[in-house]
């Protein structure tokens, strides 16, 4: 499926199926975790940047994951509570 930001980002607003704060693993030179506010609507997982108090700081999502044909697993080796991964 192809879409652009202007078409899909308005879907992020309104009632979500699930939402809350999560730590998102950012891959790069050093893998690090960033705290984000996530909203799940159907198979679309939107994320928003948050400030040091956990409040959303932007009016539109920072990004989106399309959860389709993915595998969700509990991460038993992580030190973080309630840790899970989403992979293809």
Reported confidence tier of residue 15, pLDDT bands at 50, 70, 90:
confident
The pTM of the full predicted model, rounded to 2 decimals, is 0.76
pLDDT at 1 over 80: no
C-alpha distance from residue 73 to each of 47, 61, 78 (Å): 20, 25, 12
Is the torsion defined by CA of 50, 24, 64, 71 positive or negative? negative
For the chain, which domains are there?
5-87 (2.30.29.30)
33-87 pLDDT, tens digit per residue, is 888 888 988 888 999 998 888 788 877 898 888 888 888 888 888 777 778 788 7
Is the torsion defined by CA of 4, 20, 83, 49 positive or negative? positive
Chain CA centroid to CA 7, Å: 18
């Amino acid at each position: 499926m192809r879409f652009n930001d202007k078409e899909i980002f308005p879907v992020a607003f309104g009632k979500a199926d699930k939402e809350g704060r999560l730590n998102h693993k950012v891959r790069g030179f050093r893998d690090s975790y960033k705290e984000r506010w996530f909203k799940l609507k159907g198979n679309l997982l939107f994320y928003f940047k948050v400030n040091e108090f956990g409040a959303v700081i932007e009016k539109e999502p920072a990004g989106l994951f399309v959860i389709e044909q993915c595998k969700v697993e509990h991460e038993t080796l992580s030190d973080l509570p309630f840790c899970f991964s989403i992979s293809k």
